[in-house]
Each structure stands twice: as C-alpha cells, then as structure tokens.
A = this chain, B = another copy of it.
Amino acid sequence: MNLINGVIGDTICVTDRGLAYGDGVFRTLTMRGAQPVLWRRQYAKLAADCKALRLPCPAAILLERDMAEISTHEPDCVIKIIITRGSGPRGYAIPGTVSAQRIVASAPLPDYPRNYYEVGVQARICDTRLALQPMLAGIKHLNRLEHVLARSEWSDAGIAEGLMLDASNNMICGTMSNLFAVKANELMTPDLAQCGVAGVMRDLTLELARTHGIRADISHLSKSDVLGADELFVLNSVIGVWQIVALDGRTWRKGLMTARVRSWLSNAQK
C-alpha cells in the first residue's frame, strides 16, 4: 500500500526531481503491532536529512497519519518514507516554490533465515568503493548507485551482506547496514564524515553501549582492523543485528557482545 501526500496511489510525476536527480531523502523502518518502531528517532533523522538538503520536511503528524492508515491494513510491515523536492522546471536549480512530495509505502516484513540470528551470517568485501563526499555523507538521500553496484557484485544467496570500503581504504558500512567491530570488549563503528549513511540503529547502539558502561567509539577502521576484530556485526532497522561469522577467509564463533547489543536494541524497541 502506498500513500502519496496522504492519498492512496502508486505513481509520482515523471518530472519529479526525486526521479530526475535523486533530489530527496528516505527512511526505512518497521511497523510492529501498528506502531512504527523508534519513530521519534526516525523522524528526527528524516528532518535532519531534509535540513541538510534544504528540503522542506513534512510535519510528523502527517507521516503518523499515513502510517496509521497503513497500519489498519498491515499492522506488521516495513515502511519506506520518501521525501522528494517535487516537480520543477527543467534544470538543476531548485525551484523558487518547492512542493515536496511525501511517499509512504509498505512492504511485507522480510523473513530472513533463523540461523542469521542464531548462528550468524557470511559476508564479503565489495570491490565498489564509496566516493568521499563530505557534503552528502551520513544523509540517507536518493543517490544510491554505489550501493546498487556493490550489491550487484554477488548473487550467492549464502552471502547475506557486502561490506564497503571508501576510496581511502577505510571500511565504512554494509551495502544496506551499518557496521560495528568489537575489540577487547569495546565497540567501534566507522566514521561517516566522508561517506556512508548514519542509521538510527547505529546511533542507538552507540548510546546504549555507553549507558551500559561499554566504551563505544566512532573511528577509522581498516580492512585489517575489521578482520582482526573479536566480533563483527551489521545492523539496520529491518534486519536487526547480524553477527558476521565468515568474511574474507576468516571465521568467528558466536559472540557475547553481539548478543548483548541485540538484547539492548530489542528492549529499546519495545
């Protein structure tokens, strides 16, 4: 089910700048029991991303109404919110009057194999590098061709995620997830000042770790830092937490810290 500016529909205008230039932002979250999970954080991030692109962000109440309408049909689903800068005359210049478009779409909750959670997942390191663009780093905008290219590098269903390096050899993220490494009972997650998407679950994990007295740092991580980690996990709002137990020839046993993080996040989302 899709709501476009609050009205059921399946289409947007071909002159929309979201299509023409990727001029917009998005969020993906879950709805469970008719409640959008971590909604306050999701909206805060959406508003921050809009602000970064000087894009008018719809009021929270409008998005909440859209999600409430969807929830009457699908109380448990994935919600994708897209905000575009709407249509305008030909050319890159932002129109004097912007009519931002608001798309709220539902999709079924994915059904990942249980062993992704009980055992862990196999990942790979992608050849596609993330370019360094500090003006867009961290923002969940609609220019996502690098992620499409990275995800197209493998078709083996046994590989659950691909990790991406940036042009300076820093490990940054998964194609659809944020990355954490555990070393000596401390958490580290890549610095996203130059590229990558700063997800809501990443921020929440950093906060929860500190609340629980676990040091959690944003830092530069090389490929060897990652391969030398005691534990490694990826997360996002839809997949939750997947421990990586096989990567680039290395394997890991099930880790205690990953289980703790999953438990913290699970409690925080109740």
Question: Which positions in A face B, CB cutoff 8 Å?
Answer: 2, 4, 9-23, 26, 28, 53-54, 78, 80, 82, 84, 89-94, 103, 105, 107, 110, 128-129, 131-133, 135-136, 141-152, 167, 175-176, 195
Contact = CB atoms under 8 A, between A and B. Distances in A.
B133 A146 contact: yes
Contacts of A94: 148, 151-152
B14 A2 contact: yes
CB-CB nearest 8 A-B residue pairs: A11-B11, A22-B22, A131-B131, A143-B143, A131-B133, A92-B151, A21-B144, A92-B147
Given A131-B131, A131-B132, A92 B15 contact: no
Nearest to A103: B14
A6 to B, nearest CB: 14
Contacts of A84: 19
B12 A143 contact: no
